[in-house]
Chain A
Amino acid sequence: MPPVLRRLWRFLTMHIDGILLSAVLLLMFTGLLVLLSASNGSYMRVSGQLMNMLVALGVMWVFANIPPHYLMRLALPLFVLGCSLLIGVALFGEIANGARRWLHIGVTRIQPSELMKIAVPLMLAWYFNRNEASLKLRNYVLAALMLAFPVALIARQPDLGTALLITASGCYVIFLAGLSWRVIATLAVVGLGSLPFLWSALHDYQRQRILTLLDPTGDPLGTGYHTIQSTIAVGSGGLLGKGWMNGTQTHLDFIPERTTDFVFAVYAEEFGLLGNAVLLMLFLFLIARAMIITANAPTLFARLLAGAITLTFFTYAFVNMGMVAGILPVVGVPLPLISYGGTSLVSICLGFGILMSINTHKKLVQT
């Protein structure tokens, strides 16, 4: 290989984790296959997603090349910006589908809750890292408040799914930061005790979704429809599936939102239990690799951030598949790397870029 190319190759791959990348690419490829079927062979849709993937991979590369301590500097400003935007949404936000989630800024409109998915764990990791030497219960309480503030704003929009996911990512950070088991146990007891009060604070449609989960047949044409049809798709797939492009639930339009949130129903119908097992293994492989990176991260900030990214990724995958399989309520969570949509792809790959950065910059830090 000529030295110029070798240098270019080295420049391109220096901060890339090959194992993580190959897992990501395998999942992306699977995603494209399913999408081709889910969109009835629409190459338009597939090429669009291909573009999204290229952009996402570009973002991954960029973030893999940003040393973690630069991110550390971004934590506070990003968090403050995110919170301000959320307040802006609450005051001037635009209502779509009964929820106030969007904010118009000049030419485009944004959904600040998306930003908080990364800003919250970043902020908490930065905060714990800053107080690493003397972590007291007080710090955990403060961290919990920092988490609660944006979550409350998002839940108010209302966007329960995003609020729960951000809560999860924050909780992972707090847990990994070493919150004592005694406190966790106490919180668990208190939490269970307050469930009835939480229930009464929920919106009607949110309650409806939970009720529907418990008995989807209660409202087969309304809120239960998604769950019933996706469960039928999964169940009818059987052991080996109906074969790629052969899912009847998919191709006869019975699965709603089958390229986005319910894409897994398409996959499960066409590839069966065997395909599901392969997909779970792929996800596990990716998560395992990310955990190893997390375990070997050099600083508390890096460890917490990496852990949050890893487990948030897991949470997305679990919540999405659980929803399609009818054991979790219908929340608007895409299946990471598989579902159609640029935003989700970019934010997931951004996270993996950070993981790669953490993994490849530690030697530089140590030296």
Chain B
Amino acid sequence: MSELSINPGIEIRDSDRELQRFRGRLIVLGIFVLTLFSLLFLRFFYLQVVQHGHYSTLAEANRISVLPIAPHRGIIVDRNGVMLAHNYSAYTLEITPSKVQDLEATIDDLATIVEIAPRDRRRFKKLLEESKRFESLPIRNRLSDEEIARFAVHRYRFPGVEAKARLFRQYPQGEMFSHLVGHIGRINRREVEQLEKDGRLTNYRGSDYIGKTGLEQRYEKFLHGTTGVEEVEVDSGGRAVRTLSRTPPISGSNLVLNLDARLQEVAYRAFGDRRGALVAIDPATGGVLAFVSKPGFDPNLFVDGIDPQSWSELNGSPDKPLLNRAAAGTYPPGSTFKPFMALAALFYGKRTPQQAISDPGYFMFGGHRFRDDKVDGHGMVDMYKSIVVSCDTYYYVLANDLGIDPIARFMALFGFGSRTGIDIGGEVTGTLPSTDWKLRRYKQKWYAGETISVGIGQGYNSYTPLQLASAVATLANDGVMYRPHIVNYIEDIRTRDKTLIEPKPLRELGIKPEHIKVIKDALIGVNKEGTGARAFADTPYVSAGKTGTAQVIAIKQGEKYVESRVAEQHRDHALFIAYAPADKPTIALAVIAENSGFGARAAAPIARQVIDYHLLGKLPKQPAGDD
């Protein structure tokens, strides 16, 4: 102590001051610490109190993922339960393009593990062009268990590639039903827009497919079902950790058809190599029993997008397999038109059944000779005979007597020239000629000479096989018309509720029963002693029919049509209409065999096989040939 007071050393004073200064600096840093921590606390307050709601929402959005669960699509079966469209579960290999750096290299790599055909690549390329980048697209479908196992082992090498278990649509009957059942396909942009407009898009959140044609398209609303929702907790990798809630999907309804798949098969095979169409209808209900358009195509090709090569093969084929001949193909009805012409004559009181004409083998009108195909003529011909022997002259004269517009008005009753309203799309109207029609179509007046060939189902006449079949069914059902419908009922698979399609008749034509009886008797005569007699020889049932031959090209005046001299695609179409049993018909049909010559020879045997199977359960031994 004394030392200090004696010697107030500079060093100690300095040291004191240094310490004070140091502590001052330390206090500054202390304030610095407090300030920064306060700042942190304010930030925490801002995040955790002020913005808490916002960040909670974000955290929930991170955590919860709402996954759609696609419903099972309803199946389609025929009247006996034969499967026409069903689903099966299989693995598919899918690539999400946005997650893959080099698509080509990835696919090449994949090809070393699972088989990837050039077809698969082409199809993938096409899908890629049509899709958004973040969608996953199938590169291979229906992988075998072994392939799946192999892929699982190498999975780590393929980010963005996934094996998914999915339900596939399959059409086990293939091309026989292609135009009828139709097919589904991947939803395209136009369909997305349409769904959005209809407010149905949310129901398609989990769906990749939609009905594109046929029944698949028309009954889409029923077949699709209701998409379910699953709320799952996911981790940062998007993997589901647990399910939070689940609304199960509701499966689509099943379609049960009026159609008899085996009858369809009999009809399809009866055509042999020929192109053509056949529509068979139950006259008492309008239910479609068979609906053939030949050739068909394999609808399974279209389900996951058809590859361009197969497409151009189908689209470019001269046989036009993509054309639905039964509803969208139009043909002159030829002589199958005659019974309806005769009925029109009775309807308008222009002929009595007994009234006969003398047929010299032609009808002269305006200096033009309309020939009968029997050169010498049929002699005296009354209404019965006119149908049974298919006399042209009788109908030339009749058409001329009736006039085109009365003919058109009568034929319209039977549905000629308008869509039948069958429950698949793509139907066309055909052409029912009239003065109005010609004015609208060609801006020209109708010439009386043009009416003559209309009488024998030629000229401007052009109808679909479906219209013809519907008209035959209406006739067979004594003028009570039903709308043809393929589906019998829609079955809700949960409630087992059945919704019947078209159970009521469309209209009664108001034709006198005695008039109809005249025509029906004549049609029975055709198969008994007329042009259909050979094809329908020795049937244990009584049938009614009418042959027809439709010209594809016009034959010059004075020339004779010789089949062997005409190119195949210019040969006449063979037609036949029929129903049976004659007294209480259960089947009415129209057949057209393209470029096959006479109806009696080519089309009637097809009808015979179909009716034989339908009534007797008899399976034909071979296609309905010329002999």
Residues of A within 8 A of B (CB): 132-133, 172, 175-176, 178, 229, 231-239, 248-249, 252-254, 268, 272-273, 276-277, 280, 283-284, 287-288, 291, 294-295, 300, 303, 307, 311, 314, 318, 321-322, 325-327
| Most chain B beta-carbon contacts within 10 A, residue among A252, A276, A300, A326 | A252
From known contacts A176-B25, A295-B26, infer whether A232 and B58 are also in contact, taking CB-CB under 8 Å: yes
Query: What CA separation (Å) do A284 and B36 show in the bound complex?
Result: 11
CB pair A235 B29 closer than 8 Å: no
- Would you give the shortest CB distance from A286 to chain B, in whole angstroms? 11
Q: Of the listed stretches B232-240, B525-533, B542-550, name the one at the interface; the rest are far from the partner chain.
A: B232-240
CB pair A325 B47 closer than 8 Å: yes
CB pair A325 B44 closer than 8 Å: yes
B553 at the A interface (CB under 8 A): no
Q: Which 9 A-B pairs have the closest CB atoms?
A: A235-B55, A236-B59, A235-B47, A273-B48, A253-B236, A252-B235, A236-B55, A253-B235, A238-B52
B121 at the A interface (CB under 8 A): no
CB pair B29 A311 closer than 8 Å: yes
Q: Please give me the residue from chain A that is nearest to B43 by CB atom.
A: A325
A sample of 11 more A-B contacts (CB under 8 A), given A238-B52, A248-B233, A291-B26, is: A234-B55, A235-B54, A248-B62, A253-B237, A254-B62, A272-B48, A280-B41, A284-B33, A294-B26, A325-B40, A325-B47
Contact with A along B215-256 (1 / 0, CB 8 A): 000000000000000000111110001000000000000000
- Which residue in A236, A253, A277 is a CB contact (below 8 Å) of B56? A236
CB pair A232 B55 closer than 8 Å: yes
Q: Which of B31-51 contact A (CB under 8 A)?
A: 33-34, 36-37, 39-41, 43-45, 47-49, 51
Query: What CA separation (Å) do A276 and B40 show in the bound complex?
Result: 10
User: Which residues of chain A are near B63, meaning CB under 8 Å?
Assistant: 248, 252
| Most chain A beta-carbon contacts within 10 A, residue among B21, B33, B39 | B33
- Identify 15 residue pairs between A and B in the complex whose beta-carbon atoms are under 8 Å apart, listed by A's number: A175-B25, A176-B26, A176-B29, A234-B48, A235-B58, A248-B59, A248-B60, A273-B44, A273-B45, A284-B37, A287-B33, A288-B30, A295-B23, A318-B37, A327-B40
From known contacts A248-B63, A252-B63, A253-B237, infer whether A307 and B48 are also in contact, taking CB-CB under 8 Å: no
From known contacts A232-B59, A236-B59, A291-B26, infer whether A252 and B234 are also in contact, taking CB-CB under 8 Å: yes
Q: Please give me the residue from chain B that is nearest to A248 by CB atom.
A: B63
Q: Which of B184-216 contact A (CB under 8 A)?
A: none
User: Which residues of chain A are near B233, meaning CB under 8 Å?
Assistant: 248, 252
Query: What CA separation (Å) do A327 and B33 show in the bound complex?
Result: 16
- Would you give the shortest CB distance from B235 to chain A, in whole angstroms? 4
- Would you give the shortest CB distance from B160 to chain A, in whole angstroms? 15
User: Which residues of chain B are near A307, meaning CB under 8 Å?
Assistant: 26, 29
User: Which residues of chain B are near A327, meaning CB under 8 Å?
Assistant: 39-40, 43
CB pair A322 B55 closer than 8 Å: no
Query: What CA separation (Å) do A252 and B18 show in the bound complex?
Result: 55
User: Which residues of chain B are near A239, meaning CB under 8 Å?
Assistant: 48-49, 52
Q: Please give me the residue from chain B that is nearest to A284 by CB atom.
A: B37
Residues of B within 8 A of A (CB): 11, 18, 21-23, 25-26, 29-30, 33-34, 36-37, 39-41, 43-45, 47-49, 51-52, 54-56, 58-60, 62-63, 233-237, 241
Q: Please give me the residue from chain A that is nearest to B21 by CB atom.
A: A178
Query: What CA separation (Å) do A176 and B26 show in the bound complex?
Result: 7
Query: What CA separation (Å) do A233 and B59 show in the bound complex?
Result: 7
User: Which residues of chain B are near A238, meaning CB under 8 Å?
Assistant: 48-49, 52, 56
User: Which residues of chain A are near B36, meaning CB under 8 Å?
Assistant: 314, 318
- Would you give the shortest CB distance from A285 to chain B, in whole angstroms? 11
- Which residue in B18, B41, B60 is a CB contact (below 8 Å) of A276? B41
Q: Please give me the residue from chain A that is nearest to B58 by CB atom.
A: A232
| Most chain A beta-carbon contacts within 10 A, residue among B48, B49, B51, B59 | B48
From known contacts A252-B235, A252-B236, A268-B44, infer whether A236 and B26 are also in contact, taking CB-CB under 8 Å: no
User: Which residues of chain A are near B18, meaning CB under 8 Å?
Assistant: 132, 178, 300
Q: Please give me the residue from chain A that is nearest to B23 by CB atom.
A: A295
Query: What CA separation (Å) do A13 and B377 show in the bound complex?
Result: 137
Q: Please give me the residue from chain A that is nearest to B25 by CB atom.
A: A176
User: Which residues of chain A are near B41, meaning CB under 8 Å?
Assistant: 276-277, 280
Query: What CA separation (Å) do A347 and B37 show in the bound complex?
Result: 23
CB pair B51 A235 closer than 8 Å: yes
User: Which residues of chain B are near A232, meaning CB under 8 Å?
Assistant: 55, 58-59, 62
Query: What CA separation (Å) do A133 and B17 show in the bound complex?
Result: 12
CB pair A249 B59 closer than 8 Å: yes
User: Which residues of chain B are near A280, meaning CB under 8 Å?
Assistant: 37, 40-41
User: Which residues of chain A are near B58, meaning CB under 8 Å?
Assistant: 232, 235-236
From known contacts A248-B62, A252-B236, A280-B41, infer whether A178 and B25 are also in contact, taking CB-CB under 8 Å: yes
Query: What CA separation (Å) do A322 and B56 show in the bound complex?
Result: 20
CB pair B29 A276 closer than 8 Å: no
- Which residue in B22, B23, B25, B52 is a CB contact (below 8 Å) of A236? B52
Q: Please give me the residue from chain B that is nearest to A252 by CB atom.
A: B235
Q: Please give me the residue from chain B that is nearest to A327 by CB atom.
A: B43
CB pair B236 A322 closer than 8 Å: no
User: Which residues of chain A are near B52, meaning CB under 8 Å?
Assistant: 235-236, 238-239
User: Which residues of chain B are near A287, meaning CB under 8 Å?
Assistant: 33
User: Which residues of chain A are near B44, meaning CB under 8 Å?
Assistant: 234, 268, 273, 276-277, 325
User: Which residues of chain A are near B234, meaning CB under 8 Å?
Assistant: 252
User: Which residues of chain B are near A325, meaning CB under 8 Å?
Assistant: 40, 43-44, 47
Query: What CA separation (Å) do A254 and B55 show in the bound complex?
Result: 13
User: Which residues of chain B are near A172, meaning CB under 8 Å?
Assistant: 29
User: Which residues of chain A are near B23, meaning CB under 8 Å?
Assistant: 295
User: Which residues of chain B are near A295, meaning CB under 8 Å?
Assistant: 22-23, 26
Q: Please give me the residue from chain A that is nearest to B28 by CB atom.
A: A175
User: Which residues of chain A are near B237, meaning CB under 8 Å?
Assistant: 253
| Most chain A beta-carbon contacts within 10 A, residue among B11, B36, B39, B234 | B36
| Most chain B beta-carbon contacts within 10 A, residue among A176, A233, A236, A252 | A236
- Which residue in B25, B26, B34, B40 is a CB contact (below 8 Å) of A322? B40
| Most chain A beta-carbon contacts within 10 A, residue among B39, B47, B234 | B47
